[in-house]
Amino acid sequence: MTIHNLKFQGVWDIRHFVYNTNLPDYMFTPDKLEFKSDANMLKGGLVYADYITTVSETYAEEIKTPYYGEQLDGLLCARSRSLRGILNGIDYEVYNPQTDKKIDVHYSVKDAVEKKKQAKLALQKELGLPEDENKFMIAIISRLTDQKGLDLVDWIADRITDEFTQFVIIGTGEARYENMFRYYQNKYPDRVSANIFYSDPLAHKLYAAADAMLVPSRFEPCGLTQLISLRYGTVPIVRETGGLKDTVVPYNEYEKTGTGFTFAHYNADDLLYTINYAKKIYFDHREDWNDILCRGMEQDFSWSSSALQYQGMYDWILRGMQD
């Protein structure tokens, strides 16, 4: 069984569960499907699965703790010898800045620095923002929910949107966050573009145009946004949780390593500090920024490696069952 997001569990009252499944009464006990006097589909899967995977190594460890475990941490600790994390991947044919039919400017790692400037100017024109290749464009492409760390963004939005920065959002979700981004667009119409809908073509254009992608999640089992961003040379700014921690290497200005910018604590001031640090590198050390961009594009988060790990696990389970 693979857990994508432990928060979604399928909890129903036992009477309806029995009516719809005809499962026997003995399965509705605390060591099986019973969960706080109800029945829990996900718990049943975790109890009966031969092996359990989830979508990143860090998330596999996090869900064994009360903070991330969604009240199933005790069960996951008990099954820890049959639990592992395997990173998700992305389709490198669909997300390929050299051939992507949904973007206007195509590029590879060799010419990304200049071509991304052209993509930015084209998107600025389309969105009605001032056309200036030197603006620092921050993107959010996300479901607009608490999980995604948007309460932190709300605390610092006025300080993010300075005269040197443009902030572009694509997504839908909870009304409070949809309205929050509309408010900031009305307040800073030449700096904020709030696109409260989902458009795949527009998202591809933003991946190509943006300088940085903001993913300050409260928790993130794997996350695809940062993987796509790396592919398009858009530098991730992420919180160190779940798959974000496993896929974004924090920039080290002394060793000249890293593929993005990260912060550990779920704190708005830490997020703001990290964004400002990224801006400093972008404006004052552009060659270093360009190196971060290129290192990100050179990463491989296609399905090739992950698929082999799944295949190896399935083969191992089948051999064990045959023995």
pLDDT > 80? residue 69 = yes
Q: Are residues 50 and 126 in the same domain?
A: no
Q: How large is the average pLDDT for residues 303-323?
A: 90
The CA distance from 100 to 119, in Å, is 13
Q: Is the pLDDT of residue 142 over 90?
A: yes
Asked whether residue 317 is domain-assigned, the answer is: no
Are residues 116 and 73 located together in one domain of the fold?
A: no
Q: Are residues 118 and 68 in the same domain?
A: no
- Same domain? For 166 and 237 the reply is yes
Q: What is the CATH number of the domain that holds 171?
A: 3.40.50.2000
pLDDT tens per residue across span 216-257 = 999 999 999 999 999 999 999 999 999 999 999 999 999 999
Residues 15, 153 share a domain:
no
Taking all residues of the chain, what is their mean pLDDT, rounded to a whole number? 96
Q: Which of 85, 120, 135 is the last residue of a domain?
A: 85
Report DSSP letters for 247-291, one per residue: H-PBPBTTTTB-SBEEE-SS-HHHHHHHHHHHHHHHHH-HHHHHH
Domain that holds residue 188: 112-297
139 and 71 part of one domain: no
pLDDT cut 90: percent of the chain above it: 98
pLDDT tier at 156, thresholds 50, 70, 90 = very high
Domains of the chain: total: 2
Average pLDDT of span 78-82: 96
Tell me if 312 is assigned to some domain: no
pLDDT at 321: 81
pLDDT > 90? residue 265: yes
Same-domain check for residues 76 and 117: no
Same domain, 143 and 268: yes
Q: Is residue 90 part of a domain?
A: no
CA pair distance 107, 232, nearest whole angstrom: 9
pLDDT for the residue numbered 80:
96
pLDDT, tens only, 96-124: 999 999 999 999 999 999 999 999 999 99
Q: How confident is the model at residue 305 (pLDDT cuts 50, 70, 90)?
A: confident
Structural domain contains residue 316: no
Looking at residue 147, its pLDDT comes to 95
Mean pLDDT on 65-90: 96
Per-residue pLDDT at 39 exceeds 80: yes
* Per-residue pLDDT at 291 exceeds 90: yes
Residues 258 and 136 in one domain: yes
The whole-number pLDDT of residue 54 equals 97
* In-domain check, residue 202: yes
Q: In 3D, which of 134, 159, 154 has the Cα closest to residue 211?
A: 134
CA atoms of 167 and 187, how far apart (whole Å):
12
Within a domain: 321: no
Is 280 found in the same domain as 211?
Answer: yes
Does some domain include residue 256?
A: yes
* pLDDT tier for residue 322 given thresholds of 50, 70 and 90: confident
Q: How many CA atoms lie within 13 A of 223 on its CB side?
A: 34
Domain end, chosen from 85, 104, 137, is at 85
Cβ-Cβ contacts under 8 Å for 107 (sequence gap 6 or more)? 97, 98, 114, 115, 116, 119, 208, 233
Enumerate the β-bridge partners of residue 43: none
Asked if pLDDT for residue 320 goes beyond 90, the answer is no
Contact partners, residue 58, CB within 8 Å, separation at least 6: 85, 241, 242, 243, 245, 246
Same domain membership, residue 279 and residue 135: yes
Query: Which residues have CB under 8 Å from 16's CB, separation 6+?
Result: none
**Cβ partners under 8 Å of residue 281, min gap 6:** 251, 253, 288, 289, 292
Residue 323's pLDDT is: 73
Mean pLDDT over residues 299-303, rounded? 95
Question: Is residue 50 domain-shared with residue 140, that is, in the same domain?
Answer: no
**Residue 156 falls within a domain, yes or no?**
yes
